[in-house]
Protein backbone atom coordinates (compact mmCIF):
# COMPACT_ATOMS: atom_id res chain seq x y z
CA UNK A 1 0.00 0.00 0.00
CA UNK A 2 0.96 3.63 -0.32
CA UNK A 3 2.17 4.34 3.20
CA UNK A 4 1.27 8.00 2.84
CA UNK A 5 -2.36 6.82 3.04
CA UNK A 6 -1.93 5.09 6.41
CA UNK A 7 -2.64 8.15 8.54
CA UNK A 8 -3.49 11.82 8.05
CA UNK A 9 -1.65 14.32 10.27
CA UNK A 10 -2.65 17.97 9.84
CA UNK A 11 -1.15 21.02 11.56
CA UNK A 12 -2.86 24.38 12.08
CA UNK A 13 -2.19 27.34 14.36
CA UNK A 14 -3.88 30.40 15.85
CA UNK A 15 -2.33 33.82 16.19
CA UNK A 16 -2.08 35.63 19.56
CA UNK A 17 -4.89 38.12 18.88
CA UNK A 18 -8.05 38.84 20.82
CA UNK A 19 -10.28 37.31 18.15
CA UNK A 20 -8.11 34.21 17.84
CA UNK A 21 -8.03 33.80 21.63
CA UNK A 22 -11.81 33.70 21.61
CA UNK A 23 -11.80 31.20 18.74
CA UNK A 24 -9.25 29.11 20.64
CA UNK A 25 -11.61 28.77 23.61
CA UNK A 26 -14.46 27.87 21.26
CA UNK A 27 -12.26 25.24 19.63
CA UNK A 28 -11.26 23.73 22.97
CA UNK A 29 -14.92 23.62 24.08
CA UNK A 30 -15.90 21.95 20.82
CA UNK A 31 -13.16 19.34 21.15
CA UNK A 32 -14.15 18.68 24.76
CA UNK A 33 -17.89 18.30 24.35
CA UNK A 34 -18.28 16.83 20.87
CA UNK A 35 -16.97 13.97 18.74
CA UNK A 36 -18.25 15.65 15.56
CA UNK A 37 -20.57 18.48 14.55
CA UNK A 38 -23.60 16.32 15.29
CA UNK A 39 -22.43 14.13 18.17
CA UNK A 40 -22.54 15.64 21.66
CA UNK A 41 -20.52 13.78 24.30
CA UNK A 42 -22.00 13.91 27.82
CA UNK A 43 -19.39 14.56 30.49
CA UNK A 44 -18.97 11.86 33.14
CA UNK A 45 -17.76 12.80 36.60
CA UNK A 46 -14.27 11.46 37.22
CA UNK A 47 -13.66 10.65 33.55
CA UNK A 48 -11.36 13.14 31.85
CA UNK A 49 -11.64 13.76 28.12
CA UNK A 50 -8.20 15.29 27.78
CA UNK A 51 -4.96 13.38 28.29
CA UNK A 52 -2.62 15.88 29.95
CA UNK A 53 1.07 16.03 29.04
CA UNK A 54 1.72 19.47 30.48
CA UNK A 55 -0.98 21.63 28.89
CA UNK A 56 -3.87 20.80 31.21
CA UNK A 57 -6.98 18.64 31.22
CA UNK A 58 -9.81 21.16 30.93
CA UNK A 59 -10.79 24.02 28.63
CA UNK A 60 -9.76 26.62 31.22
CA UNK A 61 -6.42 25.00 32.07
CA UNK A 62 -5.40 24.49 28.44
CA UNK A 63 -6.49 27.98 27.41
CA UNK A 64 -4.50 29.53 30.28
CA UNK A 65 -1.42 27.49 29.36
CA UNK A 66 -1.69 28.53 25.72
CA UNK A 67 -1.89 32.18 26.72
CA UNK A 68 1.00 31.83 29.15
CA UNK A 69 3.21 29.99 26.64
CA UNK A 70 2.35 31.92 23.47
CA UNK A 71 5.00 33.36 21.17
CA UNK A 72 4.85 36.63 19.27
CA UNK A 73 3.26 34.83 16.33
CA UNK A 74 1.53 31.68 17.67
CA UNK A 75 -1.06 31.24 20.41
CA UNK A 76 -1.37 27.48 19.92
CA UNK A 77 -0.77 24.73 17.41
CA UNK A 78 -3.41 22.06 16.81
CA UNK A 79 -2.73 18.67 15.25
CA UNK A 80 -5.11 15.98 14.05
CA UNK A 81 -3.91 12.36 14.03
CA UNK A 82 -6.39 10.35 11.95
CA UNK A 83 -5.56 6.73 10.98
CA UNK A 84 -7.02 5.24 7.79
CA UNK A 85 -10.44 3.72 8.75
CA UNK A 86 -9.73 0.69 6.52
CA UNK A 87 -6.69 -0.08 8.68
CA UNK A 88 -8.49 0.67 11.93
CA UNK A 89 -11.07 -1.99 11.03
CA UNK A 90 -8.27 -4.56 11.25
CA UNK A 91 -7.73 -3.64 14.90
CA UNK A 92 -10.10 -5.28 17.45
CA UNK A 93 -12.79 -2.77 18.39
CA UNK A 94 -11.99 -2.83 22.09
CA UNK A 95 -8.32 -2.01 21.38
CA UNK A 96 -8.80 0.88 18.94
CA UNK A 97 -8.76 3.68 21.48
CA UNK A 98 -5.51 2.38 22.99
CA UNK A 99 -4.10 2.10 19.46
CA UNK A 100 -4.91 5.71 18.57
CA UNK A 101 -3.64 7.05 21.91
CA UNK A 102 -0.33 5.21 21.55
CA UNK A 103 -0.02 6.39 17.97
CA UNK A 104 -0.55 9.99 19.07
CA UNK A 105 1.93 9.93 21.96
CA UNK A 106 4.62 8.09 20.04
CA UNK A 107 4.22 10.41 17.05
CA UNK A 108 4.31 13.67 19.00
CA UNK A 109 7.22 12.65 21.24
CA UNK A 110 9.16 11.00 18.41
CA UNK A 111 8.72 14.11 16.26
CA UNK A 112 10.27 16.44 18.82
CA UNK A 113 13.04 13.94 19.61
CA UNK A 114 13.89 13.92 15.89
CA UNK A 115 14.03 17.72 15.96
CA UNK A 116 16.49 17.66 18.84
CA UNK A 117 14.13 19.20 21.39
CA UNK A 118 15.42 17.09 24.27
CA UNK A 119 13.09 18.57 26.89
CA UNK A 120 10.06 17.75 24.75
CA UNK A 121 7.07 20.02 24.27
CA UNK A 122 3.99 20.23 26.50
CA UNK A 123 0.81 18.90 24.90
CA UNK A 124 -2.67 17.62 25.65
CA UNK A 125 -4.94 15.60 23.41
CA UNK A 126 -8.50 14.33 23.23
CA UNK A 127 -9.78 11.21 21.46
CA UNK A 128 -12.87 11.41 19.24
CA UNK A 129 -14.94 8.45 18.06
CA UNK A 130 -16.90 9.73 15.08
CA UNK A 131 -18.12 7.70 12.10
CA UNK A 132 -17.01 8.42 8.54
CA UNK A 133 -19.28 10.55 6.35
CA UNK A 134 -17.83 9.55 2.98
CA UNK A 135 -20.45 8.53 0.44
CA UNK A 136 -18.73 5.27 -0.58
CA UNK A 137 -18.18 3.94 2.95
CA UNK A 138 -20.32 5.92 5.40
CA UNK A 139 -20.70 5.17 9.10
CA UNK A 140 -17.37 3.39 9.53
CA UNK A 141 -15.66 3.76 12.92
CA UNK A 142 -13.12 6.57 12.59
CA UNK A 143 -11.29 7.18 15.90
CA UNK A 144 -8.76 10.01 15.86
CA UNK A 145 -7.15 12.54 18.18
CA UNK A 146 -6.86 16.31 18.40
CA UNK A 147 -3.59 17.53 19.90
CA UNK A 148 -2.93 21.02 21.32
CA UNK A 149 0.62 22.41 21.51
CA UNK A 150 1.88 25.76 22.86
CA UNK A 151 3.53 28.49 20.81
CA UNK A 152 6.84 28.07 22.66
CA UNK A 153 8.99 25.35 24.19
CA UNK A 154 11.58 25.31 26.97
CA UNK A 155 15.18 25.23 25.79
CA UNK A 156 17.21 23.69 28.63
CA UNK A 157 20.55 24.85 27.18
CA UNK A 158 19.48 28.49 27.14
CA UNK A 159 17.24 28.24 30.21
CA UNK A 160 14.30 30.00 28.55
CA UNK A 161 11.29 29.39 26.37
CA UNK A 162 11.77 29.81 22.63
CA UNK A 163 9.25 30.05 19.77
CA UNK A 164 8.02 26.72 18.43
CA UNK A 165 7.71 26.60 14.68
CA UNK A 166 6.89 24.21 11.85
CA UNK A 167 9.12 25.05 8.88
CA UNK A 168 8.33 23.91 5.37
CA UNK A 169 11.11 24.85 2.98
CA UNK A 170 13.91 23.24 0.97
CA UNK A 171 16.32 23.10 3.88
CA UNK A 172 13.96 22.01 6.69
CA UNK A 173 10.52 20.48 6.19
CA UNK A 174 9.01 19.71 9.58
CA UNK A 175 5.67 18.75 8.02
CA UNK A 176 7.28 15.99 5.96
CA UNK A 177 9.22 14.88 9.04
CA UNK A 178 5.98 14.71 11.05
CA UNK A 179 4.32 12.64 8.33
CA UNK A 180 7.30 10.27 8.08
CA UNK A 181 7.33 9.65 11.83
CA UNK A 182 3.56 9.15 11.86
CA UNK A 183 3.82 6.49 9.15
CA UNK A 184 6.66 4.73 10.98
CA UNK A 185 4.70 4.59 14.23
CA UNK A 186 1.53 3.55 12.43
CA UNK A 187 3.28 0.61 10.76
CA UNK A 188 4.83 -0.58 14.04
CA UNK A 189 1.50 -0.43 15.86
CA UNK A 190 -0.31 -2.22 13.04
CA UNK A 191 2.22 -5.04 13.32
CA UNK A 192 1.41 -5.33 17.02
CA UNK A 193 -2.37 -4.87 16.96
CA UNK A 194 -3.40 -6.31 13.58
CA UNK A 195 -0.66 -8.82 12.79
CA UNK A 196 2.37 -8.61 10.53
CA UNK A 197 0.32 -9.49 7.45
CA UNK A 198 -1.84 -6.34 7.70
CA UNK A 199 -0.27 -4.70 4.65
CA UNK A 200 -0.85 -7.77 2.48
CA UNK A 201 -4.46 -7.91 3.68
CA UNK A 202 -4.95 -4.24 2.85
CA UNK A 203 -3.52 -4.74 -0.65
CA UNK A 204 -5.88 -7.67 -1.17
CA UNK A 205 -8.82 -5.48 -0.13
CA UNK A 206 -7.74 -2.74 -2.56
CA UNK A 207 -7.35 -5.28 -5.38
CA UNK A 208 -10.82 -6.71 -4.79
CA UNK A 209 -12.34 -3.23 -4.83
CA UNK A 210 -10.62 -2.43 -8.12
CA UNK A 211 -11.96 -5.64 -9.63
CA UNK A 212 -15.48 -4.87 -8.39
CA UNK A 213 -15.36 -1.44 -10.06
CA UNK A 214 -14.72 -3.06 -13.42
CA UNK A 215 -18.42 -3.86 -13.77
CA UNK A 216 -18.90 -0.24 -14.84
CA UNK A 217 -16.25 -0.69 -17.54
CA UNK A 218 -17.06 -4.07 -19.03
CA UNK A 219 -20.88 -3.98 -18.94
CA UNK A 220 -23.47 -1.60 -20.32
CA UNK A 221 -25.28 0.46 -17.71
CA UNK A 222 -27.91 -1.62 -15.92
CA UNK A 223 -30.30 1.29 -15.69
CA UNK A 224 -30.80 4.85 -14.45
CA UNK A 225 -30.77 6.24 -10.93
CA UNK A 226 -31.45 9.89 -10.28
CA UNK A 227 -31.05 10.61 -13.97
CA UNK A 228 -27.59 9.00 -14.16
CA UNK A 229 -26.59 5.66 -15.70
CA UNK A 230 -25.64 3.17 -12.96
CA UNK A 231 -24.44 -0.37 -12.47
CA UNK A 232 -25.64 -2.59 -9.64
CA UNK A 233 -22.70 -4.09 -7.79
CA UNK A 234 -20.92 -4.72 -4.53
CA UNK A 235 -18.00 -3.12 -2.72
CA UNK A 236 -15.87 -4.97 -0.20
CA UNK A 237 -15.99 -3.16 3.16
CA UNK A 238 -13.54 -5.37 5.01
CA UNK A 239 -12.58 -9.02 5.27
CA UNK A 240 -15.99 -10.00 6.66
CA UNK A 241 -18.56 -7.63 5.15
CA UNK A 242 -19.57 -6.03 1.87
CA UNK A 243 -22.17 -3.50 0.73
CA UNK A 244 -24.59 -3.82 -2.17
CA UNK A 245 -25.47 -0.72 -4.16
CA UNK A 246 -24.74 1.21 -7.35
CA UNK A 247 -21.64 2.30 -9.24
CA UNK A 248 -21.85 5.46 -11.30
CA UNK A 249 -19.98 8.53 -12.47
CA UNK A 250 -20.73 11.09 -9.77
CA UNK A 251 -19.14 14.40 -8.80
CA UNK A 252 -16.65 14.23 -5.95
CA UNK A 253 -16.18 16.98 -3.36
CA UNK A 254 -14.04 18.96 -5.81
CA UNK A 255 -16.78 18.80 -8.46
CA UNK A 256 -14.93 16.28 -10.66
CA UNK A 257 -16.67 13.30 -12.23
CA UNK A 258 -15.35 10.08 -10.74
CA UNK A 259 -16.46 6.46 -10.72
CA UNK A 260 -17.91 6.00 -7.24
CA UNK A 261 -20.01 3.56 -5.26
CA UNK A 262 -23.24 4.35 -3.43
CA UNK A 263 -24.13 1.69 -0.81
CA UNK A 264 -27.79 0.85 -0.32
CA UNK A 265 -27.42 -2.29 1.78
CA UNK A 266 -24.24 -2.17 3.94
CA UNK A 267 -22.96 -4.67 6.47
CA UNK A 268 -23.78 -7.85 4.50
CA UNK A 269 -21.84 -11.05 4.21
CA UNK A 270 -20.09 -11.23 0.85
CA UNK A 271 -22.46 -13.82 -0.60
CA UNK A 272 -25.51 -11.90 0.65
CA UNK A 273 -24.21 -8.73 -0.99
CA UNK A 274 -23.74 -10.56 -4.29
CA UNK A 275 -27.34 -11.83 -4.24
CA UNK A 276 -28.66 -8.38 -3.33
CA UNK A 277 -26.69 -6.77 -6.16
CA UNK A 278 -28.00 -9.31 -8.64
CA UNK A 279 -31.56 -8.54 -7.60
CA UNK A 280 -30.88 -4.79 -7.97
CA UNK A 281 -29.47 -5.40 -11.44
CA UNK A 282 -32.58 -7.31 -12.51
CA UNK A 283 -34.82 -4.53 -11.20
CA UNK A 284 -32.79 -1.83 -12.95
CA UNK A 285 -32.86 -3.70 -16.24
CA UNK A 286 -36.60 -4.35 -15.95
CA UNK A 287 -37.25 -0.67 -15.23
CA UNK A 288 -35.12 0.32 -18.21
CA UNK A 289 -37.10 -1.99 -20.51
CA UNK A 290 -40.40 -0.56 -19.24
CA UNK A 291 -39.19 2.97 -19.90
CA UNK A 292 -38.07 2.01 -23.40
CA UNK A 293 -41.41 0.32 -24.11
CA UNK A 294 -43.33 3.38 -22.93
CA UNK A 295 -41.24 5.59 -25.19
CA UNK A 296 -41.94 3.33 -28.15
CA UNK A 297 -45.69 3.29 -27.48
CA UNK A 298 -45.97 7.05 -27.00
CA UNK A 299 -47.90 8.43 -30.00
CA UNK A 300 -46.17 10.79 -32.37
CA UNK A 301 -48.06 14.04 -33.06
CA UNK A 302 -47.56 15.68 -36.44
CA UNK A 303 -48.23 19.40 -36.82
* pLDDT tens track for 78-135: 999 999 999 999 999 999 999 999 999 999 999 999 999 988 999 999 999 999 988 8
Residue 65 pLDDT > 80: yes
Please state whether the predicted TM-score (pTM) of the whole model is above 0.85.
yes
Q: What is the pLDDT of residues 201-258, one digit of tens each?
A: 999 999 999 999 999 999 999 999 888 899 999 999 999 999 999 999 998 888 889 9
Residue range 131-189, pLDDT digits in tens: 998 889 899 999 999 999 999 999 998 999 999 999 988 788 999 999 999 999 999 99
Domains of the chain: 3-196 (3.30.930.30), 205-297 (no CATH)
Query: Considering only CA atoms, which of 287, 283, 237, 229 is closest in space to residue 263?
Result: 237
Inter-residue contact 169 to 98 (CB < 8 Å): no
Residue 301 has pLDDT above 70, yes or no: no
Amino acid sequence: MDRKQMCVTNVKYKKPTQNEARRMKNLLSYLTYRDSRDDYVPQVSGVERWVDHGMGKSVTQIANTCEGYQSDHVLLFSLVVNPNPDLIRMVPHEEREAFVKQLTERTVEGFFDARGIDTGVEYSYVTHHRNTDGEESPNQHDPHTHVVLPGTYYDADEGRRKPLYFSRNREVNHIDLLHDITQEQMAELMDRYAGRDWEQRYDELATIREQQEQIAIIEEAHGMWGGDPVWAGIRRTDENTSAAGFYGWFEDREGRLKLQFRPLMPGLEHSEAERAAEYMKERLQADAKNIQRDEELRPTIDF
